[in-house]
Amino acid sequence: MTTQIKKRPRVPVHGVLLLDKPVGFSSNDALIKAKRFLNAMKAGHTGTLDPFAAGLLPLCFGEATKFSQDLLEADKTYTTVVHLGVTTTTGDTEGEVLEQKPVNVTLSAIEQVLKQFTGPIQQVPPMYSALKRDGKPLYEYARAGVTLEREARDVTIHELGLLDYQAPLLTLRVKCSKGTYVRVLGEDIGAVLGCGAHLKELRRIQVGHLVLEKSITLESLESMPEQERLALLDPVDALLSSFPPVRLSDELATRFLHGQRLALGKEAVSLPEQAGRVRVYRDSDGQLLGSAQLQEFQILAPERLINTQ
């Protein structure tokens, strides 16, 4: 008779893990592994990295998943190696080669082209992407040999720095807005240079204020005792640190957690000068209560609330 090994029950885990995703893993595969290592009940990632890409993948656990949207909206920073002279079906190393051209490109020509792609630009999303049309990802159409019309989208390249050029390889640092495809940026740069291009490497080094230097690899995570893994988690409010704090009395905190809008004009609460998004704490114990919008006339409107039980 076969003895079945009982699985350990998942436990509530709350916080943010900065993972250095390896090449060859989908973001979801990396999430599943990390979730298993932490024995966590609930987890989600904050923006997909393609399997061929590596680098910073913030993972949210438990209550932190309520704020993962903020990182989806945040600016991202990458380093990338653009292979000039070779175009592929996917715009990266995973695709089949479409065309090869000689690379006779000067450094000054590259610098001029990079200026053209700095600031607000338009991009046509690639067919090999997870964007959906009629409920089906574009990459499924692409794999079936179908090409669909796609509208250009407005994105912003905040910084486009030249790190190295050893023909045919061009190394860049890119800081960009949400929705930017660095693959498309590489292809477009190659097209303007007249030789075509695809991405040889892509590494994400920053998401919002979160940086790769504080991340950990899956291999290191797996080799640790469980308590050391849990100690790596940043608190939930690490995702909200760019917003000013508001601290409430116990009575106001209770009303806030019940979803009530609070008129704070006559309360002894220190408030930021500007209206906008804030993070809210209970003053007596420092417990994060959630996020809110500070509106006109010092009205505090609850947004996303933490389960404090």
Residues forming the active site: 50
Residue with tokens 């893993």: 25
Closest CA to 236 of 44, 28, 47, 5: 44
Query: For residue 119, how many C-alpha atoms fall within 13 Å in the half-sphere facing its CB?
Result: 3
Query: How far apart are alpha carbons 290 and 267 in whole angstroms?
Result: 19
Answer whether 303's CB lies under 8 Å from 277's CB: yes
Answer whether 89's CB lies under 8 Å from 96's CB: yes
Rounded to a whole number, what is the distance in angstroms from the first to the last CA of the chain?
A: 43
Strands (DSSP E) found in the chain:
15-21, 43-45, 54-61, 76-84, 86-88, 97-100, 119-123, 132-133, 136-137, 153-166, 169-176, 197-207, 210-211, 245-248, 262-263, 276-282, 288-295, 299-305
Using DSSP's 3-state secondary structure scheme, residue 227 falls into helix
Closest CA to 114 of 54, 170, 166: 170
In this structure, what token pair is assigned to residue 187? Answer: 């292809």
User: Percent helix, strand, coil in the chain (nearest 5)?
Assistant: 25, 35, 35
